[in-house]
Amino acid sequence: MEVLYSSTRDSGKKVTASQAILKGLADDGGLFVPDHIPALELSMRELAGRSYQDIAYEVMRLFLTDFTEEELKQCISRAYDSKFDTEVIAPITQAEDTYYLELFHGATIAFKDMALSILPHLMTTAAGKNHAENEIVILAATSGDTGKAALAGFADVKGTKIIVFYPKNGVSPIQEKQMVTQKGDNTFVVGIHGNFDDAQTGVKALFNDRELAQEMEQAGMQFSSANSINIGRLVPQVVYYVYSYAKLLEEEKIRDGEKINVVVPTGNFGNILAAFYAKNMGVPIGKLICASNENKVLYDFFVTGRYDRNREFVLTSSPSMDILISSNLERLIYRIAGDDAQKNKELMEALGRTGSYEITEQMKEQLADFYGNYADEKETSQQIRELYESTGYVLDTHTAVAGAVYQKYKTETKDDTATLIVSTASPFKFTRNVMNAIDGKYDAMSDFELVDELSKIGNVDVPPAIEEIRTAPVLHDTVCDKTEMKTTVKRFLGIVS
């Protein structure tokens, strides 16, 4: 059955999947959502034993119904190839009684690669299908990982340019080095004086700037988005939840139909929303455990039903989760409001105006499958150290937040359901914090000495993505104020007015 997409703020106008991917964000500032969540057509038993690519096709064809089989399979095979350092793409590692879904084996060693390896292909295919002649300019705000993954995905892709804004003092040294050394004539990287929310708000304003859109059109260009607000990022993320269940079943870690809980280190709410979609497709998922760092706006939301971004923004050792406006939550709000675009619009307008909103009791009741909690900096580093000491397995800081929250969940509920922790980054991306958590003595070492030491103590090879940037020259050095984002974009694109 065909799936069409409409805005979370106006369900009147429907577009196809390819149109939604091409546009990124709806004209009214809402996010595109499917008119229904399709059910899986194959059973978990039938999916068990299939490759990641096969399962990707089975899941994505149900959402992206206007793509042909050939188009979709080509996108999948171009995305999930030797850019990943393992043939299985998303391996599951068991440590103690918990499963870790490692989503960091792609080009930039963070889970953003899972979606951003395929998004450029979905987008150029979508442009072809819709006879879009304009050059596509990807605008992205990044808390560190999206930026590099999007740059790597779009670099030198014909008919596209990509501009990435990151908070100048809000990403790890390795993350920054990864971005500013990016090759490709169509890539632009800018540090802004501000935090991630400033970058994201600035990018959203550029998307909604009518005057700029007109100038772009005259110059033969149009914006699109690679942030997780693009439905073309969300759909590929549903895949690995289906894949994980099938894999655990194949390996007889679980019985057919047995529920599993998933724990997701959360920032913009994209990854955990994908798990929610997977559950709605029929994957036997029990609890969706939403793990936050000290920016615990989501924890407070799940406890009280009130979303309130009016608080201090904390810089933590898990920067990709340092977010106070979780954009994708809007898709969940829309859903629990009974697909009521008007209601959702009112709440989002309140968020824009006052920085907060409150959902009704009736909406709150529909969040019963979600559990939210958070881990502070001390609990996070303790989690890294303890798991390393007992098993030798080294977690990155984001995954450690999830691990610490899972401990709290177990203590609180005594729930012993089989559990999958989503491991969103390689520890090599956050080496200093990871090594400091294990032992304070490492602090004197340089970033790359730490890389080698981590390789030794964790008994894992240094990932090629890290080897590459060791000596790579800096190619991007633009820094601007958050008020100068528009002029910076126009300068890059050669638009004068």
Could you give the residue numbers annotated as active site?
Answer: 112
Q: Is 271 in the site for ligand PLP (CB under 6 A)?
A: yes
Q: Is 255 exposed, middle or buried (0-12, 13-18, 19+ CB in 10 A)?
A: exposed
In the complex with ligand PLP, which residue's Cβ is closer, 320 or 488?
320
373 lies in the binding site for ligand PLP (CB under 6 A): no
Whether residue 250 contacts residue 243, with contact meaning beta carbons closer than 8 Å, is answered with no
Number of residues that bind ligand PLP (CB under 6 A): 17
Q: Is 423 in the site for ligand PLP (CB under 6 A)?
A: no
Dihedral over alpha carbons 16, 18, 19, 24 (to 10 degrees)? 120
Q: Between 232 and 267, whose beta carbon lies closer to ligand PLP?
A: 267
Kindly indicate which of the ranges 47-55, 105-113, 247-255, 308-316 contains the residues binding ligand PLP, using the contact rule CB under 6 A. 105-113
- Residue 295 sits in the site that holds ligand PLP (CB under 6 A): no
Nearer to ligand PLP, 71 or 396 (CB): 396
Q: Which one of 320, 373, 381, 433 is in contact with ligand PLP (CB under 6 A)?
A: 320
CA distance 88 to 162: 29
Q: What's the gap between Cα 359 and its chain centre?
A: 25
Q: Which two tokens stand for residue 179?
A: 């971005």
Q: Per CB under 6 A, does 172 bind ligand PLP?
A: no
In 137-193, which ranges are continuous DSSP H helix? 145-154, 173-180
Cβ distance to ligand PLP smaller for residue 6 or 271: 271
Helix (H) or strand (E) holding 239: helix 231-250
Does residue number 293 form part of the binding site for ligand PLP (CB under 6 A)?
no
| Contact characters 219-238, ligand PLP, x per CB under 6 A | ---------x----------
Nearer of residues 401 and 450 to ligand PLP, judged by Cβ: 401
**Is there a contact between 317 and 397 (Cβ–Cβ < 8 Å)?**
yes
Site membership for ligand PLP, residue 321 (CB under 6 A): yes
As a 3-state breakdown, the chain gives helix, strand, coil percent values, each rounded to 5, of 50, 15, 35
Measured distance CA(174)–CA(429) in Å, rounded: 6
The answer to whether 347 and 363 have CB atoms below 8 angstroms apart is no
Asked if 269 is part of the footprint of ligand PLP (rule: CB under 6 A), the reply reads yes
According to DSSP, the β-strands at 356-358 and 370-374 are unpaired
59 is an interface residue for ligand PLP by CB under 6 A: no
Stretch 116-145: interaction string toward ligand PLP, x if CB under 6 A? -----------------------------x
Rounded least distance, CB 115 to ligand PLP, Å: 9
Binding site for ligand PLP (CB under 6 A): 110-112, 145, 228, 265-271, 320-321, 398, 424-425
